[in-house]
Copies of this chain bind each other. A is one copy, B any other.
Amino acid sequence: MDPSQSAPHQYVLTLSCPDRPGIVHAVTGHLFRHGGNILESQQYNDLDTDRFFMRTVFALPAVESSFEVLQDGFDALAQGFGMRWTLRDRSQRRRVMLLASKFDHCLADVLYRWRIGELPMEITAIVANHPRDTYRHLDFDGAPFHYLPVDQGRRHEQEAVLGSLIENTQTELVVLARYMQVLSATLTERLAGRCINIHHSFLPGFKGARPYHHAHARGVKLIGATAHFVTADLDEGPIIEQDTQRVSHHDTPADLIRIGRDIERRVLAQALRYYLDDRILLNDGKTVVFAV
């Protein structure tokens, strides 16, 4: 069979660079000359920083060599503009590791969405500081599970194992699906821009333990959640997605926790979906999210 006859492949290109006239023209010209057909494209000019961001989905006729040629040529173009860029075959699924603790609502939700095809990814590992039996009701559907308990005196060792696992499994993205352990600065820096966390958010904000109890004591009328990239500065990394829901004086701390679970799982799933489709670009301490 002639490979040029098979179905076209889709690719996602993302890039950012200092803004100047001619970027889009150059990029689209390159794609055009190599037979690329643009299916979807979004761009953003940050007028504060004069930085330009772009995400383009394009199709190529399925001639194996054409993509290599396009990619090689793009490298030269990108250097000319000082671009940070990624170019990915959309059919190659991102390799994702899920970290969980005792509460499994985010883990269960991500697994369900993965199974029915909402989240196109390879799960490289499910890691938890609780044993497999804690999640006995969840079907991991073949995804490898690793029990890495955290012994207070030996945090460093546990994290070394975790770090090796990330490397050995060629994990691209680490998802903290209510993983209630703090990662070291070393690890968070290594995972910059590829480790997503979900946490509760309130107006006004609260620090410290038992946040839903604090929110209840303060009598808030809304509770929320934030998905963000993890940085060494806890809960302060670039924000990817947020949502809130109304509550009232009737809601007990237990009610807030229940409502919070719903917000957390849908905000995390949305952030993950954006990541898997290359929709999140880093812009200094914040994000450009080319949401659908």
Contacts and interface: CB of A to CB of B under 8 A. Distances in A.
A163 B37 CA distance: 45
A11 to B, nearest CB: 14
A137 B140 CA distance: 9
A115 B138 CA distance: 11
A139 interface: yes
A105 B108 CA distance: 12
A182 interface: no
Contact of A292 (B137, B251, B287): B251
Interface in A90-147: 105, 108, 112, 115-116, 118, 136-139, 141
B249 A289 contact: yes
Given A36-B21, A219-B283, A255-B292, A224 B241 contact: no
A24 interface: yes
Interface stretch (A25-33, A148-156, A173-181, A186-194): A25-33
A41 interface: yes
A245 to B, nearest CB: 10
A138 B243 CA distance: 28
Number of copies of this kind of chain in the complex:
4
A222 B248 contact: no
Interface stretch (A68-76, A81-89, A201-209): A201-209
B249 A283 contact: yes
A138 B108 CA distance: 11
A257 to B, nearest CB: 10
Size category of the A interface is 35 or more
A47 interface: yes
A interface secondary structure, majority: mixed
A258 B222 contact: no
Nearest to A109: B112
A234 B101 CA distance: 38
Given A21-B32, A219-B287, A203 B242 contact: yes
A45 B36 contact: no
Contact of A24 (B28, B138, B205, B218): B28
Interface of A: 21-22, 24-25, 28-29, 31-32, 35-47, 105, 108, 112, 115-116, 118, 136-139, 141, 201-205, 217-222, 224, 226, 235-236, 238-244, 248-252, 255, 258, 262, 266, 283, 285-289, 291-292
Given A21-B32, A25-B29, 17 more contacts: A22-B32, A38-B43, A39-B47, A40-B45, A46-B249, A108-B112, A136-B139, A139-B139, A202-B203, A203-B205, A203-B226, A204-B235, A218-B239, A219-B283, A244-B244, A248-B291, A255-B292
